[in-house]
Structure 1
Amino acid sequence: MRIDYRDGLLFTSIEITYRGKTKQISNVVIDTGASHSLLTQDCVDEIGIRISGEDEIVTSYGIGGREHSFVKKVDKVEVGEYCLNNCSLDFTSHIYEDINGLLGLDMLLNAGFIIDLKKLNMYLQI
């Protein structure tokens, strides 16, 4: 799958399904420095992903400081050819302008993605 390089970052799109509703999310940063994937709650509000009393609240620490998020189990996450069913994802109120989330090492390693920076492609090893 093609990845975009802009503003010094690598971007891709992912598709998530929650309670039978699917949404394509663009402007997701491929972040090998993030231990786990994280999406902004604003980009998934229309498919019903909102914080509720039973959600686990987690705190992440990084170069940008401390970030609080809630964890929700989703039906499916698709990144190119990779598909992960019934997985938990973190959602936060806001990351940065024009960034809808981070594709972190949890999914990158699980899938075994190979990132070809010369060709700006990310693919699964056959």
Structure 2
Amino acid sequence: MKIEYREGLLFTEVAVLYNGTKKFIDNIVIDTGASHTLIAQDEVDDIGIVVGAEDEIITSYGIGGKEHAFSKRVEGIQVGDFIIKDIPLDFTSFRYHNINGLLGLDILIKGEFHIDLVNFRLHHV
């Protein structure tokens, strides 16, 4: 799958599957420094992903400080033609205007993805 290098970051697109709906989300940063994938809450409100009493609240720490998020089990996440089914994903408010999420190591490792920095492509085994 094609990735885009801009503003010093690698961007791609993912699809979140929830309650029978597939929502494509662009401007996702491929982040090998992130242990978990994180999606902007605003991007999934329209498909019914909102925090509930059964969701775990998590705090992550990174270079930008600490972030609070909630973890919700979704039907799947799709990266290119690779789908991981029945997986918990983290959702939070993003403060960065052009980033809708981070594709972290949890998904990159499960999909055995390879990042091709010559041709700017993301491949899975």
TM-score range, shorter chain: over 0.9
Mapped to 2, the partners of 1:61 and 1:105 lie a distance apart of 15
Q: Extract unaligned runs of 5+ from structure 2.
A: none
Secondary structure, in 3 states, of the residue corresponding to 1:2? coil
Instruction: After TM superposition, list the pairs within 5 Å mapping 1:1-126 onto structure 2.
Output: 1-125=1-125
Mapped to 2, the partners of 1:84 and 1:47 lie a distance apart of 19
Alignment TM-score, normalising by the size of structure 1: 0.97
Cα drift, residue 98 of structure 1? 1.1
Letter in structure 1 aligned against 2:48: G
Percent of aligned pairs sharing the same letter: 54
Mapped to 2, the partners of 1:65 and 1:34 lie a distance apart of 13
Say what the alpha-carbon RMSD is for the aligned residues: 0.7
Cα drift, residue 101 of structure 1? 0.2
Letter in structure 2 aligned against 1:2: K
Mapped to 2, the partners of 1:6 and 1:98 lie a distance apart of 11
Mapped to 2, the partners of 1:11 and 1:92 lie a distance apart of 18
Cα drift, residue 14 of structure 1? 0.3
Q: Extract unaligned runs of 5+ from structure 1.
A: none
Mapped to 1, the partners of 2:81 and 2:52 lie a distance apart of 31
Cα drift, residue 95 of structure 1? 3.9
Q: Is the 8 A contact 1:39 1:102 kept in 2?
A: yes
| More displaced 10-residue stretch of structure 1: 89-98 or 26-35 | 89-98
Cα drift, residue 123 of structure 1? 0.4
Instruction: State the 4+ residue runs in structure 1 displaced beyond 4 angstroms.
Output: none
Alignment TM-score, normalising by the size of structure 2: 0.97
